[in-house]
């Protein structure tokens, strides 16, 4: 099948997206793939598939490739006397800002381009960790207790140490610190506030178990990946997570009871339903004191969490055939006519 | 000052937006205004200011006017041998879908066009009434109790009659019904589900007082309009609200205690802060049993609630000078370089 991989973006995770796209190229080698790169200045480039290497971008070589514009229903390459349309389902693989904050969703919706990826509201509730908490509270999914700090305001933290400090709106562990005692706090806050004007404080839960589960809705039902217990270190820093984005080898299922798997799936489905349709997402859960807690929603997981699926090709194919319909709104100017009459104009 | 009024949109409130723009033309007559119309097919047209009349659109005459495209930093008119840029702060006056759902915000952010109007996350929390409830619960602002119904699911309503049925995502009272007894329920649900796949059920509060308050953040502080007690009928239907969108005469302040005004402002500010910066919004409150309840957030109120401001021109001017800054993200490919080294590639 034809599929366009849209990657890059004006985001702290720009480079991660490049790594993700290179990995996807391998995993979907049987597809007819088009690669469209969104540069940090929001120019779109058509990338020669044989040049899908990190160096193409770090060297700036991509800037010599054809520029595209987003038009109704397609990306367009305009020459002096010709136009070429690139028209296929888009896989939104822009991590972080642009891709996960709702911008790309809005652009593709506005221009009528079909895409795999989270829709606008889904982005709001997953991109900003505060809003993920709002969602959890509203739909009855448990999550870790939290406090919110604002830049340039006194930090009156009530959570006892050790704590985790996270910028509200970044993924990939950028700007995240574990703070064991008060003396380390100021530095951790400085780091986090480098990246965002609001910061989340959570207790650092000793002995927590971590489980990742991916899934999507297609052909009228949910499809789940295996459950993975990720390698446990204090937490993955940016470089380690970065390597993570290039993962392509299928992993083994976590050795857990069926009952826990069922609880993870049920929490996943509660988060997903009515909000994430059209996207393949990964939810990262904690299990602590026998409670399942949602830690994070990755609405565009690194390399689409391909390594969690037994048949990743089938997953992308069936999802691309089950995308939410865009509503067509027509206007007949009936109200303007009737108001004009009422006003005698 | 120069200002571009962006109106229309692919929305059930398309016509309302036209009426709003015509009203704004009168109210901001001293400005250097450009009118850009977004048609229901998402084409942009530059509208001759002298043609800013409802008939221009209902007759289709606008389709003969110059088409524009959205480019980096501006709207662009492209001729055979020439280009003209339309580059000024945009007032997003598209009500309902496109304007209030975050689409226009994302487009203008992506293309780097400054605008007055709600940003993406602000849209999520105001466009869908469910998410307004999530927000209220999270930030400690009271609102009316509610239930959510989904299309094609059994309607097990626990709220006692009379109740109000509202489509989750529409403004301007479209699809809203008061249901006094069970026999009227099915019809009201059919109407509401015409417009949305989720529906909100609320108790119809007898004897509730209604107050509207508008405001915006500029020059490092909040600015509030007067408080209005809107004309009370059971509720405003679409045509009445429609007339409402063309209001241009300043109204009188509600005759209420200063203490209540202060409570309304304090609730408004809690909703606005950290979310609605860049926008002039109107919050519609209920007062019931001496409690202030948020009923609705209008992130792009009809004709910008001009009639609530003593100096509307000053409001728009100062807001346009206090718009949120867009973050510039640069990439130095530092991680790709270090990963490449680590991998020995």
pLDDT one-digit tens code per residue, B300-345: 999 999 999 999 999 999 999 999 998 777 777 877 777 666 655 4
Q: What angle do CA A51, A56, A59 make, to 5 degrees?
A: 160
pLDDT at residue B322 in the model: 96
Residue A243 has pLDDT above 70, yes or no: no
| CB contact burial A243-276 (16+ within 10 A = b; e otherwise) | ebbbbeeebeebeeeeebbebbbebbebbbebbb
d(CA B138, CA B133): 9
Q: Which CATH class is domain A147-203?
A: alpha beta
Q: Per CATH, which fold does A2-116 belong to?
A: Rossmann fold (3.40.50)
Q: To which H or E segment does residue B193 belong? A: helix B185-195
pLDDT at residue A250 in the model: 75
Chain A residues within 8 A of B105 when measuring between CB atoms: 106
Q: Which of B21, B15, B22 is nearest to B39 (CA)?
A: B15
SS3 label, residue B186: helix
Please report which confidence band the pLDDT of residue A316 belongs to, taking 50, 70 and 90 as the band edges: very high
Q: Is the ipTM of this complex over 0.95?
A: no
pLDDT at residue B345 in the model: 44
pLDDT one-digit tens code per residue, B235-292: 555 556 556 667 777 778 888 999 999 999 999 999 999 999 999 999 999 999 999 9
For residues A159-183, average pLDDT: 89
d(CA A157, CA A182): 10
Please report which confidence band the pLDDT of residue A237 belongs to, taking 50, 70 and 90 as the band edges: low
Residue the block writes with tokens 């459950």: A227
A310 touches chain B (CB under 8 A): no
pLDDT at residue A104 in the model: 98
| Tokens describing residue B305 | 């609630």
Contact B274 A150 (CB under 8 A): yes
By residue count, chain A amounts to: 345
pLDDT at residue B239 in the model: 59
| CB contact burial B156-169 (16+ within 10 A = b; e otherwise) | ebebeeebbbbbbb
d(CA B136, CA A134): 10
Position with higher pLDDT, A244 vs A286:
A286
Q: Which of A216, A327, A167, A87 is nearest to B101 (CA)?
A: A327
The answer for residues whose C-beta is within 8 angstroms of residue B311's C-beta and 6 or more apart is none
Contact B329 A40 (CB under 8 A): yes
By residue count, chain B amounts to: 345
Count Cβ atoms within 10 A of the Cβ of residue A323 and give its class: 0-12 exposed, 13-18 middle, 19 or more buried: middle
* Among A153-167, A212-226, A230-244, the least confident range: A230-244
Contact A239 B338 (CB under 8 A): yes
Q: Which of A133, A137, A329 sits opposite B40 (nearest CB)?
A: A329
B111 touches chain A (CB under 8 A): yes
Integer Rg of chain A from CA: 22
SS3 label, residue B267: helix
Chain A residues within 8 A of B103 when measuring between CB atoms: 106, 109-110, 120
A202 touches chain B (CB under 8 A): no
Position with higher pLDDT, B149 vs A79:
B149
Within 10 angstroms of residue B258's Cβ, the number of other Cβ atoms is 7
* Among A74-88, A222-236, A318-332, B66-80, the least confident range: A222-236
pLDDT at residue A242 in the model: 59
Please report which confidence band the pLDDT of residue A34 belongs to, taking 50, 70 and 90 as the band edges: very high
For residues A117-135, average pLDDT: 97
d(CA B175, CA A175): 46
Question: Do A147-203 and A123-142+207-320 fall under one CATH topology?
Answer: no
Residue B80 has pLDDT above 90, yes or no: no
Count Cβ atoms within 10 A of the Cβ of residue A188 and give its class: 0-12 exposed, 13-18 middle, 19 or more buried: buried
d(CA B132, CA B169): 10
Order of all β-strands in the sheet with B198-203: B147-150, B198-203, B163-167, B177-179
The answer for residues whose C-beta is within 8 angstroms of residue B296's C-beta and 6 or more apart is B129, B132, B171, B283, B284
Contact A14 B110 (CB under 8 A): no
pLDDT at residue A171 in the model: 65
Q: How many CB pairs under 8 A join A and B?
A: 146
For residues A114-139, average pLDDT: 97
> Across chain B, what does the average pLDDT equal?
92
B109 touches chain A (CB under 8 A): yes
Q: To which H or E segment does residue B203 belong? A: strand B198-203
* Residues in B 265-304 with any Cβ partner in A closer than 8 A: 274
Q: What is the DSSP letter of B300?
A: S
Please report which confidence band the pLDDT of residue B79 belongs to, taking 50, 70 and 90 as the band edges: confident
Task: Please report, rounded to a whole number, the percentage of residues in chain B having pLDDT higher than 70.
Answer: 93
A242 touches chain B (CB under 8 A): yes
Q: What is the distance in angstroms between the Cα of A87 and the nearest Cα belonging to chain B?
A: 18
Q: What is the distance in angstroms between the Cα of A28 and the nearest Cα belonging to chain B?
A: 22
Q: Which of A16, A329, A333 sits opposite B97 (nearest CB)?
A: A329
Please report which confidence band the pLDDT of residue B33 belongs to, taking 50, 70 and 90 as the band edges: very high
For residues B139-156, average pLDDT: 92
Q: What is the distance in angstroms between the Cα of A255 and the nearest Cα belonging to chain B?
A: 31
For residues A235-264, average pLDDT: 77
d(CA A124, CA A101): 6
Peptide bond preceding A162: is omega within 30 degrees of 0, i.e. cis? Answer: yes
Q: Which of B103, B123, B336 sits opposite A110 (nearest CB)?
A: B103
Q: Which of B102, B198, B242 sits opposite A120 (nearest CB)?
A: B102
* Among A200-214, B4-18, B31-45, B231-245, the least confident range: B231-245
Q: What is the distance in angstroms between the Cα of B255 and the nearest Cα belonging to chain A?
A: 31
Mutate to test the interface with B, among A328, A330, A335 (most CBs of B within 10 A): A335
Give domain A123-142+207-320's CATH architecture: 2-Layer Sandwich (3.30)
A193 touches chain B (CB under 8 A): no
Q: What is the distance in angstroms between the Cα of A106 and the nearest Cα belonging to chain B?
A: 5
For residues A196-213, average pLDDT: 94
**Whether the Cβ atoms of residue A114 and residue A89 lie closer than 8 Å to each other:** yes
Please state which CATH number belongs to domain B2-117: 3.40.50.20
> Across chain A, what does the average pLDDT equal?
92
d(CA A251, CA A230): 10
d(CA B320, CA B218): 8
pLDDT one-digit tens code per residue, A40-52: 999 999 999 999 9
pLDDT at residue B170 in the model: 72
d(CA B118, CA B105): 7
B119 touches chain A (CB under 8 A): no
B34 touches chain A (CB under 8 A): no
**Whether the Cβ atoms of residue A106 and residue B107 lie closer than 8 Å to each other:** yes
| Strands (DSSP E) found in B72-185 | 74-78, 83-86, 90-92, 115-116, 147-150, 163-167, 177-179
For residues B139-149, average pLDDT: 96
Give the domain ranges of chain B: 2-117, 123-142+207-320, 147-203
Residue A332 has pLDDT above 90, yes or no: no
Q: Which of A198, A239, A340 sits opposite B54 (nearest CB)?
A: A340
Please report which confidence band the pLDDT of residue A345 belongs to, taking 50, 70 and 90 as the band edges: very low
pLDDT at residue B164 in the model: 95
Residue the block writes with tokens 């989904």: B150
């Amino acid at each position: 099948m034809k599929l366009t991989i849209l990657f890059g973006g004006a985001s702290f995770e720009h480079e991660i997206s490049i790594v993700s796209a290179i990995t996807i190229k391998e995993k979907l080698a049987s597809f007819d793939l088009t690669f469209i790169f969104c540069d940090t200045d929001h120019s779109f480039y058509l990338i020669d598939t044989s040049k899908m290497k990190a160096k193409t971008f770090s060297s700036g070589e991509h800037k010599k490739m054809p520029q595209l514009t987003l038009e109704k229903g397609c990306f367009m390459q305009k020459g002096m006397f010709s136009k070429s349309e690139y028209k296929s389902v888009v896989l939104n693989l822009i991590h972080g800002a642009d891709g996960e904050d709702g911008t790309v969703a809005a652009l593709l919706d506005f221009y009528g381009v079909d895409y795999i990826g989270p829709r606008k509201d889904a982005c709001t509730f997953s991109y900003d960790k505060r809003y993920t908490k709002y969602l959890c509270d509203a739909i009855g999914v448990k999550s870790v207790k939290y406090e919110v700090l604002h830049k340039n305001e006194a930090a009156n933290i009530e959570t006892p140490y050790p704590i985790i400090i996270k910028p509200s709106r970044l993924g990939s562990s950028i700007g995240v610190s574990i703070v064991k005692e008060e003396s380390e706090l100021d530095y951790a806050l400085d780091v986090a506030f480098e990246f965002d004007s609001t910061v989340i404080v959570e207790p650092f839960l000793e002995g927590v178990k971590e489980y990742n589960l991916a899934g999507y809705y297609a052909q009228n039902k949910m499809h789940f990946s295996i459950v993975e217990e990720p390698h446990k270190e204090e937490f993955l820093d940016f470089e380690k997570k970065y390597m993570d984005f290039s993962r392509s080898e299928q992993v083994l299922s976590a050795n857990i009871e069926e009952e826990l798997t069922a609880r993870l799936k049920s929490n996943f489905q509660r988060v997903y339903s009515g909000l994430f349709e059209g996207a393949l997402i990964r939810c990262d859960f904690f299990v602590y004191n026998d409670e399942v807690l949602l830690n994070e929603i990755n609405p565009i997981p690194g390399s689409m969490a391909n390594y969690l699926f037994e048949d990743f090709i089938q997953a992308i194919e069936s999802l691309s055939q089950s995308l939410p319909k865009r509503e067509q709104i027509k206007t007949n100017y009936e109200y303007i006519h009737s108001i004009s009459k009422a006003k005698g104009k």
